[in-house]
Amino acid sequence: MNAGDHLSDTDVLTAVRDSLSRTSLTGPPDVAAILARGRARRRRRVIPTATGTLAVAAGATLAVTALTPGSHDPAHRAAHAATRQPTVQLAAWTVTRLANGNITVSVRDLGDPAGLQQTLRSDGVPASVTFASEVNPACSPYPGGTPRHGIPRLLKHVFPEPYRHLAMQHQPRTARPVHGRPPVQRPSPTSSIVVIDPAALPGNAGVQLGVSPGGGALLLPQVVYASRRCTGS
Amino acid sequence: MSNEQAEFATFFRASWDPCLRAVLAVVGSPQLAEDQVAEAFARAWASWRKVRRHPAPRAWVVRTALNTGVSWWRRRGHELPLAGHDQTAHDDPWTGLDGSLLMALRRLPRRQREVIALRIFLDLDTDMIAGQLGIEPGTVRMHLSRGVAALRRELTPTNNHGG
């Protein structure tokens, strides 16, 4: 007879609780960071497709010169960026290279992550883009490339949007000129935007983007180790 | 800091540890659990006027943490290797735990782990657990019974002198 059979349900649960309670865990993060994160969530509630996602860039204030997925032409894109004529198009998703070299990914309804992935790679960004439920198992997180209690510096540099703004206080809804830049038009309120600074990527790193199950938002962009199987290069 | 913020801060500091342990018992990765609990508390603050009136705010946080997909990348990277049971003791982030008990807990179906976590860390009764998980009280009792039975088998004393 198993001696454990003598244990009551309460005994078993108490043993489990006591055992787990002995585990040394980190203390709570700074409550100010949690409050800021919560405020960011409140702001994003105005964006229907942002529900339940962390990385929707509701605070994005960069120009969006939209290209349709099928017309990804760098020269055309560069011309648009150079003229700095912000436009908003209701394409399913768009990829835009800004004059400063950053790449803006805007998603309204992404049904083909592979297409976006190919576009980013052709733009020189090692990238893995999948639906959240189909994450590429070949990808592994790059040190500092994943948010934990706070947002690592690498993430803020590689993804100026949304991470730079996650810990910020409430921002006015109206975009303001930044460093002398002209005012820019906000994207469609149903868009999800991630801005990538390829120059901030370490040499052996790439980006990983997840697409919400409904295809309406980009989830938690991260930095991963670049590899042929993960990011294509 | 406003009164509302101070109220939330008090709740946050007092609830972080039990919520984290409850989520940890389910997801099996300290890093993943921390991410999800932090996100859940952020959501709690975003909906504080609702959450503060919730009959079990900590349960709201745990349920939200378990439902959130914030760290689905990490889940693939950390939870699955932990499930392999092939780490040495000093590699195990759950250092200090009873190894066999930990393995038994990991082997339980997720729903059984959820029920047990809510019971032992948040001290919720059957009806409250059922409400949080969206299942019938009878189903809660079934999961709890089966989970406890599986764990009981792992709690055999090593020095069994018999008689």
Give the whole-angstrom CA distance, residue B36 versus residue B53.
22
Which of B15, B16, B112, B152 would best serve as a mutation to test chain A binding (most A beta carbons within 10 A)?
A: B152
pLDDT higher than threshold 90 for residue A207 = yes
- Across the range B146-155, mean pLDDT stands at 86
**Residue A13 falls in which region: left (phi positive, over 0), alpha (psi -120 to 50) or beta:** alpha
Per-domain boundaries in chain B: 3-152
**Distance linking the first and last C-alpha atoms of chain A:** 59
Which residue in B109, B118, B106, B139 sits closest to B23, CA to CA? B118
CB contact under 8 A, B35 and A147: yes
**Cis before A162? omega within 30:** yes
Structural contact between residues A233 and A226, judged by C-beta atoms closer than 8 angstroms: yes
**CA neighbours closer than 13 Å in the CB half-sphere of residue B37:** 31
- pLDDT tens digits, one per residue of B78-131: 333 333 333 333 334 444 455 667 777 888 898 999 999 999 988 899 998 998
Take residue A200 and report the two structure tokens written for it.
Answer: 């901030």
Give the whole-angstrom CA distance, residue A119 versus residue A9.
57
Q: Mind telling me how many Å the CA of B95 is from chain A's nearest CA?
A: 6
Q: What angle do CA B144, B42, A137 make, to 5 degrees?
A: 70
Residue B50 C-alpha from the chain's centroid? 22
Please determine, for the modelled complex, whether the ipTM score is greater than 0.90: no
In chain B, residues with a C-beta closer than 8 Å to the C-beta of A42 are 46
Structural contact between residues B70 and B90, judged by C-beta atoms closer than 8 angstroms: no
- Across the range A177-202, mean pLDDT stands at 61
Render the burial of A78-108: b for 16+ CB within 10 Å, e for the rest: eebbeeeebebeebbbbbbbbeeebbbbbbb
CB contact under 8 A, A22 and B101: no
pLDDT higher than threshold 60 for residue A181 = no
Winning range, highest mean pLDDT, from A120-129, A218-227, B4-13: B4-13
Look at residue B97 in the predicted model and tell me its pLDDT: 53
Closest chain B residue to A54, measured at CA: B70
pLDDT higher than threshold 50 for residue A144 = yes
Locate all alpha helices (DSSP H) within chain A, ordered by sequence: 9-21, 31-44, 74-83, 113-122, 153-158, 160-166
Phi, psi of B150 (to 5 degrees): -65, -40
Strands (E), A77-152: 93-97, 103-107, 127-131
Look at residue B151 in the predicted model and tell me its pLDDT: 87
- Across the range A125-134, mean pLDDT stands at 84
**Distance linking the first and last C-alpha atoms of chain B:** 64
- pLDDT tens digits, one per residue of B9-31: 999 999 999 999 898 888 877 77
Give the whole-angstrom CA distance, residue A179 versus residue B121.
51
More confident site: B155 or A9: A9
DSSP, res A29: P
- pLDDT tens digits, one per residue of B35-88: 889 889 999 999 998 998 888 899 999 998 888 754 444 444 433 333 333 333
Q: Can you name the residues that pair with A194 across neighbouring β-strands?
A: A105
In chain B, residues with a C-beta closer than 8 Å to the C-beta of A135 are 72-73, 76
Residue A214 C-alpha from the chain's centroid? 16
Look at residue B77 in the predicted model and tell me its pLDDT: 45
CB contact under 8 A, B72 and A135: yes
CB contact under 8 A, A23 and B121: no
CATH architecture of B3-152: Up-down Bundle (1.20)
Contacts within 8 Å (CB) and 24+ apart, B74-78: B74/A141, B74/A146, B74/B29, B74/B31, B74/B32, B74/B35, B75/B27, B75/B29, B75/B32, B76/A135, B76/A137, B77/A140, B77/A141, B78/B29, B78/B31, B78/B32
Take residue B24 and report the two structure tokens written for it.
Answer: 């940890």
Per-domain boundaries in chain A: 29-225
Q: Can you name the residues that pair with A222 across neighbouring β-strands?
A: A208
Considering the entire predicted model, what is its pTM?
0.48
- What are the strands of the beta sheet with A93-97, ordered from one edge? A93-97, A103-107, A192-196
Give the whole-angstrom CA distance, residue A87 versus residue A101.
18
CB atoms within 10 A of CB A65: 25
Render the burial of B108-143: b for 16+ CB within 10 Å, e for the rest: beebbbbbbbbbbbbebebebbbbbbebeeebbeeb
Look at residue B159 in the predicted model and tell me its pLDDT: 45
CB contact under 8 A, A4 and B154: yes
Look at residue B75 in the predicted model and tell me its pLDDT: 46
